[in-house]
Structure 1
Amino acid sequence: MDDKRTFLAIGLAIAILLAWTPLAEHMGWIQRPQPVATTQETAAPTATAPAPAPASQAAQLPVFTPSAGVEVKVETPLYSAVLYSGGGTLRSFTLKRYDETIKPDSPKVNLVSPDAALTAPLGLTVNGQPSWSTGQWSFQGSDLKLEAGQQGSLTFIGLVDGVRVTRVITFNADNYLLSENVLVASDNQTPRTVRLGFTVAATPFSTGKYDPTRLAWDANQSFKEETSESTLTETGIIEQGLFNWAGVMSNYFMNVTAPVDPDNLTLKGRVQGGVWRLALERPDVLVPGSGTEVPVGVNWWFGPKDRELLAAAPDHLDQAVNFGMFSIIARPLLTILSFFHSYVGNWGIAIIMLTFCIRVVFWPLSQKSFKSMEQMKKLQPMMKKLREKYKDDKEALNREMMQLYKTYKVNPAGGCLPILVQIPVFIGLYQALLNSIQLRHASFIPHLPFTDITWLADLSAADPFYITPLLMGASMFLQQRLTPAAGDPTQQKVMMFMPVIFTVMFLNFPAGLVIYWLCNNLLSIGQQWWMLRKA
């Protein structure tokens, strides 16, 4: 009799379990996850539905209900962005004020190409897992359209590896900074340790020789970078420390992430399938049970390396505009250049005005150099006799030469001094012109005179017809003809080849830099001609 009752109880329990789910769905007590739309499945696969939450958790966190993945659009005066709700990753980020080329029908710059979008820029990893593909997500809100001065937020809620994740991303219509507050909580009563990572990615922004794509980061306010694609493809990079920001950049654009707490982070970078990828991982965060949410802050920048906008941004993002070891020269030169441009409205004319100012500053040194070379020229007959007399005794020749210089108070290096002093200025201006977003696609003389042929329409690119480099080489040759010849025959031969060497070197330099050197040579020729007449 007891066995019959036992089998009857088991059968009754099975019947109740089989009938419970359809009845609960019919009464609306539980909901099944909505299927992901077919068009979204390839880009962001959705994991299986999580187990029902314990009843005690319902009082702490709302019941998580995944929703179908959709594209969310953000429109501002500066950019147009498309995000995917299945993880809050970027599908595209188009800059409205920057064209890819100088052609009239050129498309706008898109910092997130289709290939880069597949690797989840603006992505979040949870305990090393890509949340956009291993978790389930829902979205709160709608498309954003922001006018100047406005802000707006999007909220993405996900369940990843038993962790409830809420991403609140705020967009600002007046800059390219995205501010995010991530809230993490255990999805049950058990405390968890959660490790978050923030990812960025991009395909090369440019193919130009002087505008390479690179991984770059700020290691405790020290600019670091890795430009070798082969190194990043074969081994990648892993570093630990204090990183204010890190990302993918070129001379003019960047996609970077900047955790609010930068200490004790792990940086990982690679190139995979032609996509430059980087992630910053935070150390583990202890998350209590009972639905308690722990906030984690992070900022992002997808946009141009605009010095004025970056100066007002947090996390030392302004250090992303890097001028190298001569930044102490490059920054004031760029400030003066911008000042001239504000008056004349043409960057080429502003470069010429800056060149004139630099020439005025170096005028006394140039005069001293010319006098030194004139004195050396007068000593050449005596130097020739000394070389013949001591041709077999180098030590004696050097001793007599030094005595000759001392007697006539001549500094043999005096003629080289202005050139040596100007080298840091040249390198500083080179860095300033290469890393200034304002000079990208800046026009000087758009067309060859009396034609419709495009010429110096982009000062950040090389002269398409090599006219300015050839003129620069010719000016160097003329400058040498006006300069007193060096006493050393070897030095004379070296100087004779300098115009050829410089011309070849400058053929593919940015046109703005060639214009500076050409104008500098012409001003030097004018100064030398004036000093010759005075002499």
Structure 2
Amino acid sequence: MENKRVIVAVVLSLAVLVGWNFLFPAKPPVPKTDQAAQTQPAPAQKESPAPAAKAETLATFAPTPGKKVTVETPLYTAVFNASGGVLSQFSLNNFRQTITSDSPLVDLVNLKAHAKAPLGLILNGSPTWQNVEWSLEGGDLRLGAGDTGSLTFVGRLGDVVIKRVMTFSGAGYLIDEKLSLSNAGGAPLLSRLSMTVAVERLSAEGDSYNPTQAAFYDTSGLELFNSEKKLAEGVADEKPVQWGAVMSNYFLVGVIPEADNLRGKARIEEGVFRVAVDKDGLEIPAGGRVDLPISYYLGPKDPKYLADAPHHLVAAIDYGWFDFIAKPLIKLLHFFYDYVGNWGVAIIALTVLIKIIFWPLSHKSYKSMEQMKKLQPLLTQLREKYKDDRQKMNEEMMQLYKTYKVNPAGGCLPMIVQIPVFFGLYQALLHSIELRHASFIRYLPFTDMIWLADLSAKDPFYITPLVMGATMFLQQKMTPAPGDPTQAKIMLFMPVIFTFMFLNFPSGLVVYWLVNNVISIAQQYWMLNKKS
């Protein structure tokens, strides 16, 4: 095998890796049926009814239908409807819809989503927020960073008294609920409970890099469903789940019950993504009570906050095959940002560090390429001499490599080692909440036109991807040409393919690839001058 053939294979492999994410951005498991199975069991939680617990009574029940109550924290503002504890609004104080300073805050529960009763409970198929009288204990809450506060919603559906005690913290996005179902009747009840979340699309429709999708978590890992065609029909889970959520690259709305044998299902209804986690077989004895803790998360996919949620909710941040590489690279990116205060500059600094680490391997690669370049005339002669005997030609080529002590794959093996790192950083940047609306160079130089003001969005003028393609072309021209003309044409065509793919990439990713190419060109130029 010749050195250049290996190079072609490496470059094509890298193109496939990047191109796959371009053409097929999400990687959900292939379902066996239209109703895909997703999740696995949570650790067993004792859920037997407490015999000593008494059923809730209605002695002090005072219906307050339609009343609104507001919870304000440094991180969000939530508005609940007293009828069932359903969310009417959940706006994030630190995130805006666009890059302009006066843009509206991101509201995870707008009017459209509110119609689907986010955080609503369904008992035995009956929505508890409809045709049920509810009372509210507590009023508006204004919490500081270190404060907590609670609201209590109480309602009755048939013989079942529903009590929801929701606790909020000013230090995070997690809402903890203590749910109790009490049987006020004279006979035991066997119930089915659905815990739901609902949210309108969290990203632009058709955004291949940042899709809105349903997610479930099981013991085998994260399962994603982003086929809107199947979600419109409804997908159900045949396996026990630990949590369910609607999420994009940057935001997540999820429900995390403390129970075993949960079932998950998801659907798109009138443009709203709905996820429900069901618990079957809840036995409520006559005059007794069943308690079920539930947690809800509504906020950014920030590891700092997700780590506080139960059942490994942080697994919602998924970097794919190169997760083990992406996570330390993100930590390094944060390290550089703490010093330079600009995410674009931090990306450049991280790229430079990676190139320094791989400098010896790159040096060896370029050196091997130069050795192969010297052998090209001899290899051409062998091809011509043994053009009708391919086996003999390969034998003579291998003998030539042995004689001159040249490894035909020596120029590529260092590149192969670097590919996982490159793609790991690519995934890390693509899913990093820090890059959303993060500015690098806000205005196009010498103009007042907005340019790289959002590293999570594409370059509006396509300058960086075009320059990136040009640097890749220059890099190819500086690399010793393959002896095979067909291979040479393929190599020169690769910059065109990459430029096309990168046109709509988030600009933070393009900056990384562009800087990487520039450093590689400088390294090759230095080696050529050093030789001369």
TM tier, shorter chain? 0.7 to 0.9
**1:373 touches 1:486 (CA, 8 Å); kept in 2?**
no
Deviation of residue 326 (structure 1)? 0.6
- What secondary structure sits across from 2:201 in the alignment? coil
The DSSP-based 3-state class of the residue aligned with 1:385 is helix
- Displacement of 1:407 after TM fit? 2.2
The within-5 A match list for 1:139-218 is 139-207=136-204, 208-218=207-217
In the alignment, what sits opposite 1:29?
Answer: none
Give, in angstroms, the shift of residue 364 of structure 1: 1.1
1:511 pairs with 507, 512, 515, which one?
507
Alpha-carbon distance, 1:65 to partner: 4.4
Alpha-carbon separation, structure 2, partners of 1:174 and 1:150? 8
1:332 paired residue number: 328
The 3-state SS of whatever aligns with 1:455 is strand
Distance, in Å, in 2 between the alignment partners of 1:386 and 1:161 is: 90
Within 2, Cα distance between the matches of 1:505 and 1:315?
37
Q: Secondary structure at the match of 1:241?
A: coil
The code of the aligned residue for 1:485 comes to A
**SS state of the match for residue 282, structure 1?**
strand
| Code of the aligned partner of 1:493 | K
Partner residue in 2 for 1:275: 272
For residue 121 of structure 2, what is the amino acid of its counterpart?
L
Which sections of structure 2, spanning at least 5 residues, go unmatched?
1-53
Percent sequence identity is 55
3-state SS of 1:343 partner? helix
Correspondence for 1:366: 362
Q: Following the alignment from structure 1 to structure 2, what is the Cα–Cα distance between the partners of residues 452 and 128?
A: 57
2-structure distance, mates of 1:68, 1:352: 56
What is the aligned counterpart of 1:250 among 248, 251, 265? 248
Cα shift at 1:82: 1.0
Equivalent position amino acid for 2:424 in 1: G
2:448 counterpart residue number? 452
Aligned to 2:38: none
Q: Which residue does 2:374 correspond to in 1?
A: 378
Instruction: State the Cα distance separating 1:64 from its structure 2 match.
Output: 4.1
Are 2:231 and 1:232 aligned? yes
Q: How does 1:476-491 map to 2 (within 5 A)?
A: 476-491=472-487
Query: Per the alignment, in what secondary structure is the counterpart of residue 237 of structure 2?
Result: strand
Distance 2:511 2:292 in 1: 49
Query: Contact 2:55–2:161 at 8 Å: present in 1 too?
Result: no
| Per-residue CA distance 1:406-452 (angstroms, 9 max, x = gap) | 22222222222233222211221111111111111111111111221
Q: Note if 1:430 corresponds to 2:465.
A: no
Counterpart position of 2:258: 260
**What one-letter code is carried by the residue in structure 2 that aligns with 1:265?**
L
C-alpha offsets along residues 57-101 of structure 1, whole Å, 9 cap, x if unaligned?
Answer: 999663644332211111111111111111101111000100111
The total of aligned residue pairs comes to: 476
Instruction: Please state whether the residue corresponding to 1:243 is helix, strand or coil.
Output: coil
Say whether 1:520 aligns with 2:516. yes
Q: What is the rounded CA distance, in whole Å, between the counterparts of 2:220 and 2:176 in structure 1? A: 21
**Per-residue deviation, 1:307:** 0.9
Partner of 2:470: 474
Contact kept? 2:71, 2:78, Cα under 8 Å: yes
Match of 2:102 in 1: 105
Range with bigger deviation, 245-254 or 98-107: 98-107
- Structure 1 residues 392 and 123, CA gap change in structure 2 (3 angstroms): same
1:221 and 1:316 in contact (8 A); partners too? no
Query: Which residue is 1:116 aligned to?
Result: 113
1:497: how far off? 0.7
Deviation string 1:458-478 (CA, Å, 9 cap, x unpaired) is: 111111111111111111122
| Corresponding residue number in structure 1 for 2:392 | 396
The CA distance in 1 between the partners of 2:414 and 2:461, in whole Å, is 31
Give the letter aligned to residue 239 of structure 2. Answer: G
Q: CA deviation at 1:169?
A: 0.7
From the CA coordinates, give the structure whose radius of gyration is larger.
1
- 2:130 is paired with a residue whose SS is helix
- TM (norm. structure 1) is 0.86
Q: CA deviation at 1:145?
A: 1.4
Give, in whole Å, the separation in 1 of the partners of 2:95 and 2:309: 20
User: Does the CA contact (< 8 Å) of 2:64 and 2:135 recur in 1?
Assistant: yes
Assess if the C-alpha contact under 8 Å between 1:376 and 1:487 holds in 2.
no
- Contact 2:146–2:170 (Cα < 8 Å) also in 1: yes
Contact 1:447 1:453 in 2 (8 A): yes
| Amino acid across the alignment from 1:215 | A
Question: 1:72 maps to which residue?
Answer: 69
Task: Return the alpha-carbon distance in structure 2 between the equivalents of residues 311 and 247 of structure 1.
Answer: 16
Question: What is the distance in 1 between the residues matched to 2:272 and 2:113?
Answer: 6
Which residue identity is paired with 1:225? L
- Distance in 1 (CA, whole Å) between partners of 2:439 and 2:458 is 12
Measured in 2, the distance between the counterparts of 1:96 and 1:228 equals 31
Q: Which has the higher contact order (CA 8 A, sep 6+)?
A: 2
From 350, 354, 357, the counterpart of 2:353: 357
1:408 to 2:404 alignment: yes
Matched, 1:84 2:52: no
Q: Cα distance, 1:286 vs. partner?
A: 1.3
Counterpart selection for 1:286 from 283, 292, 295: 283
Structure 2 SS opposite 1:68: coil
Could you give the per-residue CA deviations for residues 237-267 of structure 1, whole angstroms, max 9, x where no partner exists? Answer: 1114342221100001011000012x21111
CA distance in 2, matches of 1:79, 1:111: 10
Distance 1:58 1:397 in 2: 88
Equivalent residues of 2:55, 2:184 under 8 A apart: no
Q: 1: distance between equivalents of 2:289 and 2:55?
A: 14
- The one-letter code matched in structure 1 to 2:119 is L
Give, in whole Å, the separation in 2 of the partners of 1:131 and 1:415. Answer: 66
What CA deviation, in whole Å up to 9, does each residue of 1:282-309 have, x standing for no partner? 122211112x222110000011111112
Pick from 280, 298, 314 the counterpart of residue 302 of structure 1. Answer: 298
| RMSD (CA atoms) | 1.6
Paired amino acid for 2:251? F
Within 2, Cα distance between the matches of 1:192 and 1:268? 24
Q: Does structure 2 retain, via aligned residues, the 8 Å contact 1:245–1:315?
A: yes
